[in-house]
Amino acid sequence: MKIALVQINPVIGDFSYNSRKILDACHEAVEKDCGLVVFPELALSGYPPHDLLERPAFLDGHDQALLQLCSELPNIDVLIGCIEQRSPKSSGKKLYNSAFLIRNASIIHRVRKQLLPTYDVFDEKRWFEPGITPGVIECKGLRFGVTVCEDIWHSEIGEYGFDPVEALFAAAEDVDCLINISASPFQRDKESVRHRLFQTICVRHHVPLLYVNQVGGQDSLLFDGRSMLMNQEGEIKAKSFGFAEDLLIVDSENWSGSLHEPVEEDGLAAVHDALVMGIRDYVGKCGFRSVVLGLSGGIDSALTAALAVKALGAGNVFGVALPSPYSSDDSMEDAKALAGNLGCGFEVIPISDLFASFQDALRPLFAASPSSPSDLTEQNLQARIRGNLLMALSNKFGHLLLSTGNKSEMAVGYCTLYGDMNGGLAVISDVPKQLVYDLSRFINKEKEIIPLRTITKAPTAELKPDQCDQDDLPDYEILDQILELHLEEHLGLKAITDRGFEKELVKDILRRVRLNEYKRKQAPMGLRVTSKAFGYGRRVPNVQNFHD
C-alpha cells in the first residue's frame, strides 16, 4: 500500500482554509494510488489554538467543519489530528487531543493523546484530558500503532511515569508500523534529538515509524515539518522538505520512499530557513503585505533585512536610515550598500534636528539634574525619535515594523523601550549575537549581500561619540556562553562560576537579566529558535528578588 504523509501549514481557527488544504492533499493522494493519507496533530484547527479552546463557538465551528470535511473526502482512509469534545457529564477537562481515522465519510476510530506536555511553550493540561488506552488502527491489512506527538517523547522528556509506546506494544499484537502525528516546534539542534529518539524506538520494537509533523509559523512558534519514514533498523528511508508544505509517499511493501531533502542534522541553514518562514507566515497570516525597519549599518538590522527580503521579496521590504549626530559615514554607506545589494526600498531621514528640538525643550528641566549634561537619557531620546518615525511610516503605509534587537541585547536590557524595541515582530530576539554573526556569514556564502565591513567592525549603537557595545558589555562570545547556561540550562551564579567564568562578571550579567524582565514583557513577539526564548515559554515575574 502507498501511504501519503502530508505536512500542511494551517491557519489557526480558519477551518475552511484548513479544510481546503486537507481536501486538496487527499485528492492528490488518491491520484497517486495511496490507500491511506496521514495529517499532523490538530490539523483541522491548527496548533496551538490556546484559549480559543475555551470558546464554545470555536469548538462548534471545528465540529461543523469536520462533518463537512468527512462528507467531501474522496475514497481514501484519512488519519488526522482533531479536537474531540467529551461528554458534558464527564469529569476532568472537556476535550481530548485526538487522532481520527475517517473511512467512507465516518469516523471509525479515535486515538487520544496520552501525554500532555506542560512545560516551556506547552500547556496542554490546561485544556485537554489525557487518553488512557493505546491506539491501533487497521488499514488494507496492516496494523498501525498510533501516537500523538508527546506520546513518543517519554524517554527524552523524562518527567512522565508512563510510556505510551511501551504500553502500546505490550497490549497489541502484530503491529506492522508505528505512526506519530505531531505539531512539534523547531529549535536549534532538535532534529538530531528526534533522529536518536526515533531510532531507539524503531530498533527496540523492530518496526518502521511514520512521523508526520506540522509546518509553518504560528505566532512565535516555528514548525519545521520534516516528516519522515524510518525503517526498523533506524534508517531514514523517506523525508519531506523542511519549512515547506509537502506530500511524501511511502510504500509499505518494502517501507521505502523518497528523500525530498538530504538527511542531515540541524545547522545554520535550518535556523535561517526557520526565521524566513516565520517572517513570511507572521506577516501574511496577520494580513500584512510589507514591512519597514531601521537600517543602522549594523549587523543586527542587516541580518533582519536580509531575512525579510528572502521571506517577502525585495519590493515588500522598506529600509530607513535615521542618522543622528553620532552616526558615522561608514555606517550610512553600509546601510545604503545593503539596501542596494538586497534591492529593497531605502530612504534616509536624518534625526539631528529633531534631537536638537527635544534637547531644547528639555534643557530648562534637565539643568536642575545632578547628573552629567549628557547621559543615557540623551541616548534613549535618539532611539525613541527613531522608533516614533518608524511607527509613523508603519501607520501611514500599512507596513509591519520589524524590530532588530538580538537575544543577547534583550537579555541584559541593552535596548530602549519605545525606541529600538518598537515593532510588531522581533525577528532575531531569540538569536544570540554570535549566532547573528554566523547567520550573516551564511547569507554571504555565495556572494556578498551583507557588506563585509558590517560583519567585521566592532558593534556599536552610535548614540554617543566613539561608542562601542563592549564599553558596557563583556565580549559577546563570553556573554552568550553565560546567557546560554543561565537561560537554556537554568544554571545560577555558583554553577556558572564553577564552569570557569569570573564571579563578579556572572553576577553582573545575571543582575541585568533579572532587572530587565519588565522590558521583555513589553517587547514585540519574537520568533523562537532556541530551547528557551523570551516570551510565552519563559514565565518569570517582573518583581522578584532571587539573585542566583
Model pLDDT for residues 56-100, shown as the tens digit of each residue: 999 999 999 999 999 999 999 999 999 999 998 889 999 999 999
Residue 505, in any domain of the structure = no
The order of strands in the sheet holding 291-294 is 345-348, 317-321, 291-294, 400-403, 425-426
Q: Does 302 lie in the same domain as 214?
A: no
Residue 545, in any domain of the structure = no
Cα Rg of the chain (Å, integer): 26
Catalytic residue among 26, 34, 149, 177: 149
Query: What pLDDT, on the 0 to 100 scale, is given for residue 159?
Result: 78
| Lookup result for grid cell 552568550 | 480
Reported as type and span, the H/E element at residue 236 is strand 236-239
Distance CA 190, CA 157 (A): 13
Query: What pLDDT, on the 0 to 100 scale, is given for residue 11?
Result: 98
Set of cell numbers at residue 183: 505539531
Set of cell numbers at residue 345: 526600498
Under 8 Å between Cβ of 248 and 257: yes
| Lookup result for grid cell 511514520 | 210
The question of whether 113 is a catalytic residue gets the answer: yes
Half-sphere exposure of residue 301: CA atoms within 13 angstroms, side-chain side: 30
Distance CA 532, CA 506 (A): 19
When pLDDT is averaged across residues 381-410 and rounded to a whole number, the result is: 97
The question of whether 41 is a catalytic residue gets the answer: yes
Examine the fold and report which residue of 201, 221, 253 is the final residue of a domain before the chain moves on: 253
Listed in sequence order, the DSSP H helices in 367-487 are: 376-397, 407-412, 433-443, 452-456, 476-483
Residue 262, in any domain of the structure = no
CB-neighbour burial class of residue 300 (10 A; exposed 0-12, middle 13-18, buried 19+): buried
| Lookup result for grid cell 530607513 | 320
Q: Does 292 lie in the same domain as 160?
A: no
Query: What pLDDT, on the 0 to 100 scale, is given for residue 544?
Result: 87
Q: What are 195-240's pLDDT values in tens digits?
A: 999 999 999 999 999 999 999 999 999 999 999 999 999 999 999 9
Query: What pLDDT, on the 0 to 100 scale, is given for residue 369?
Result: 78
Q: Does 97 lie in the same domain as 23?
A: yes
Under 8 Å between Cβ of 326 and 465: yes
Residue 496, in any domain of the structure = no
Residue 526, in any domain of the structure = no
Q: Does 337 lie in the same domain as 307?
A: yes
Q: Does 108 lie in the same domain as 243?
A: yes
Domain span at 229: 2-253
CATH number of 210's domain: 3.60.110.10
| Burial profile 227-244: b = 16 or more Cβ within 10 angstroms, e = fewer | bbbbbbebebbbbbbbbb
Q: CB-based contacts of 530: which residues, under 8 Å, 6+ apart?
A: 187, 188, 407, 430, 432, 487, 488
Q: Does 178 lie in the same domain as 47?
A: yes
Q: What are 317-352's pLDDT values in tens digits?
A: 999 999 999 999 999 999 999 999 999 999 999 999
What's the mean per-residue pLDDT of the chain?
95
Q: Does 249 lie in the same domain as 281?
A: no
Higher pLDDT, residue 133 or 276: 276
The question of whether 149 is a catalytic residue gets the answer: yes
Q: Does 412 lie in the same domain as 314?
A: yes
CATH number of 289's domain: 3.40.50.620
pLDDT bracket for residue 467 (50, 70, 90): confident
Q: Does 53 lie in the same domain as 97?
A: yes
Q: What are 149-185's pLDDT values in tens digits?
A: 999 998 777 778 889 999 999 998 899 999 999 999 9
When pLDDT is averaged across residues 378-398 and rounded to a whole number, the result is: 97
Distance CA 44, CA 42 (A): 6
Residue 371 has pLDDT above 70, yes or no: no
Overall number of domains in the chain: 2
Residue 370 has pLDDT above 90, yes or no: no
When pLDDT is averaged across residues 364-388 and rounded to a whole number, the result is: 87
Query: What pLDDT, on the 0 to 100 scale, is given for residue 148?
Result: 98
Examine the fold and report which residue of 253, 280, 301 is the final residue of a domain before the chain moves on: 253
Distance CA 47, CA 343 (A): 35
Q: What's the sign of the alpha-carbon dihedral 330, 336, 339, 342?
A: negative
Q: What are 121-153's pLDDT values in tens digits?
A: 999 999 999 999 889 999 999 999 999 999 999
Q: Does 296 lie in the same domain as 201?
A: no
Query: What pLDDT, on the 0 to 100 scale, is given for residue 156?
Result: 77
The answer to whether the pTM exceeds 0.75 is yes
Q: Does 240 lie in the same domain as 210?
A: yes
Examine the fold and report which residue of 219, 253, 287 is the final residue of a domain before the chain moves on: 253
Residue 548, in any domain of the structure = no
Catalytic residue among 21, 26, 41, 415: 41
Q: Which three-class secondary structure state does DSSP give residue 245?
A: coil
Residue 297, in any domain of the structure = yes
Distance CA 376, CA 399 (A): 30
Catalytic residue among 21, 94, 113, 190: 113
Cis peptide before 48 (omega within 30 of 0): yes
Residue 244 has pLDDT above 90, yes or no: yes
Half-sphere exposure of residue 358: CA atoms within 13 angstroms, side-chain side: 17
Distance CA 239, CA 226 (A): 6
Residue 137, in any domain of the structure = yes
Residue 265 has pLDDT above 70, yes or no: no
Q: Does 170 lie in the same domain as 75?
A: yes
Half-sphere exposure of residue 180: CA atoms within 13 angstroms, side-chain side: 29
Under 8 Å between Cβ of 321 and 336: yes
pLDDT bracket for residue 458 (50, 70, 90): confident
Set of cell numbers at residue 232: 526498523
Query: What pLDDT, on the 0 to 100 scale, is given for residue 375?
Result: 85
Residue 372 has pLDDT above 70, yes or no: no
| 46: amino acid identity, one letter | G
| Burial profile 38-64: b = 16 or more Cβ within 10 angstroms, e = fewer | bbbbbbbbbbbbeebbeeeebbebbbe
